[in-house]
Structure 1
């Protein structure tokens, strides 16, 4: 869903201007409260929730009003946490960044307008709003396939990560119970657990950003952090594997010293590449 966020921020002035101009055409929104804002829902097909909060007490004075139903359970609840974060402009409007609505479970923005001691909150479905303004073209079938693929892939990687960790646990426990402890039986579970951790981090990131939308705004720093963390985990696994090879050679189980040299060279090359990557990204962000 990051494409919707990007489209919103690119066309934010157009979106906000459209909403402000349209709402101002209604005059006082508080006058529409008697009809449960039916006229507002009729004009804005992307509007999915309206409620009113007292500006002085921060208490919600109206129920949650949806296009086809009314929920009274939210009435008389304190909304001070919302008012504390509002940056109301001179014309009385305030806009939030995109977020996932707890009431409707959709990606939305909240627009608020202050009128005569009241603040009217309006939640707009971001996708439908962007479609209305021709800022995006939605392909529902493709979106569903893409979401399902990310969900399946992320969950599958999570299962593989869990299997790797369980394998390392049972393998080590079995060797301990059999009193079969040596360099190989100690380091092998560590490598499996380390790879399981790296795969889990990748799975978690895919599910958070593409399925559950924990982070909506695309941040290149988070992507750099993920890649760096993943490479560090792989480096640890490779370093452990190199130690195993060296120990085998020292115990004369393997006479091919060149294998250890290849691994050391590969690790050194990855470390050098990672150092250059971190330096360039930090320099770019400065």
Structure 2
């Protein structure tokens, strides 16, 4: 689910930065005379009582050296005094931009999980940089805080459960169609196989493959959260699904042509109507693919 979480973070990044920077700005004194480490720690204490999802709080001096041990509810994370963190993004970006910043997700050395860091420059009344106040929070906790409907929120987990149930149901249907499609070959000898049964089995197996392909796309995207490396992954799935349906209808219409030509030529007009419907679906699918390719080219430019 890491890719899904990072993708969701990119969507709520600005909202998350605004919220975390608001917490820091509201609770920590800044641009005032007499700003010191104790006043910043008091602000951290207020934030910790307001939101208990943070992993760690710590203060850097203007050169990026951590002044005290990390403040954390987990005693194993209380460390870091004197460490040079000037090469960290939350330090040099904050100093360079001279404002509160939020880093990209990175593996935390404290929790071994993905986290982000919000850092804010602390200045005196003369606008001289004194400290950098830093707050670490796990990526999952941030998503649950900012976007309750995210993949790790309650609604997100419920949605994953629903998609899982539907995926299992559709897979069961695909499996039933597959068994039905091959039983005529398994249970009969070669001489007993009817050509019409071959066409029927081909139709059933084509539908089974189309449903399985749809299940695979839904399960990977919505349950496993795997990224789609193609720009139009969802559209590709729909095109393949509709293409499989068109193939099944084309085979069925061909069967009807042969059947009515032999048994009842007066009914062959209905088979022609079905062939016309298949042709219309192919034209519609071609137009859709043309529009899809054009829109993709326009985005590249």
Same fold? TM cut 0.5:
yes
Matches within 5 A, 1:182-221: 182-215=194-227, 221=232
| Separation in 1, partners of 2:274, 2:200 | 16
| Separation in 2, partners of 1:69, 1:265 | 73
Cα 1:136/1:259, change in 2 over 3 Å = closer
Cα 1:224/1:9, change in 2 over 3 Å = same
Q: What TM-score results when the alignment is normalised by the length of structure 2?
A: 0.58
SS at match of 1:149: helix
| Separation in 2, partners of 1:68, 1:266 | 66
| Separation in 2, partners of 1:69, 1:162 | 52
| Separation in 1, partners of 2:56, 2:185 | 55
- Is 1:123 aligned with 2:133? no
The answer to whether the 8 A contact 1:172-1:185 is kept is no
Question: Where does the alignment leave 5 or more consecutive residues of structure 2 unmatched?
Answer: 29-43, 58-71, 78-87, 95-101, 107-111, 119-134
- Is 1:226 aligned with 2:237? yes
The answer to whether the 8 A contact 1:7-1:136 is kept is no
Cα 1:147/1:10, change in 2 over 3 Å = closer
Alpha-carbon distance, 1:275 to partner = 1.0
Alignment RMSD:
4.7
Cα 1:48/1:160, change in 2 over 3 Å = farther
Partner of 1:45: 52
Cα 1:90/1:145, change in 2 over 3 Å = closer
Structure 1 segments of 4 or more deviating over 6 A? 1-7, 20-25, 86-89, 135-138
| Separation in 1, partners of 2:149, 2:287 | 38
Number of positions where the alignment pairs a residue of Structure 1 with one of Structure 2: 228
Per-residue CA deviations over 1:105-126 (Å, capped at 9, x if unaligned) read: xxxx63269xxxxxx9863214
Per-residue CA deviations over 1:250-273 (Å, capped at 9, x if unaligned) read: 4x1343211220111011100111
The answer to whether the 8 A contact 1:48-1:124 is kept is no
The answer to whether the 8 A contact 1:183-1:247 is kept is no
Partner of 2:165: 152
SS at match of 2:187: helix
- Is 1:275 aligned with 2:282? no
Cα 1:136/1:224, change in 2 over 3 Å = closer
Matches within 5 A, 1:97-112: 110-111=115-116
SS at match of 1:111: strand
Which structure is larger by alpha-carbon Rg, 1 or 2? 2
The answer to whether the 8 A contact 1:8-1:130 is kept is no
Q: What TM-score results when the alignment is normalised by the length of structure 1?
A: 0.61
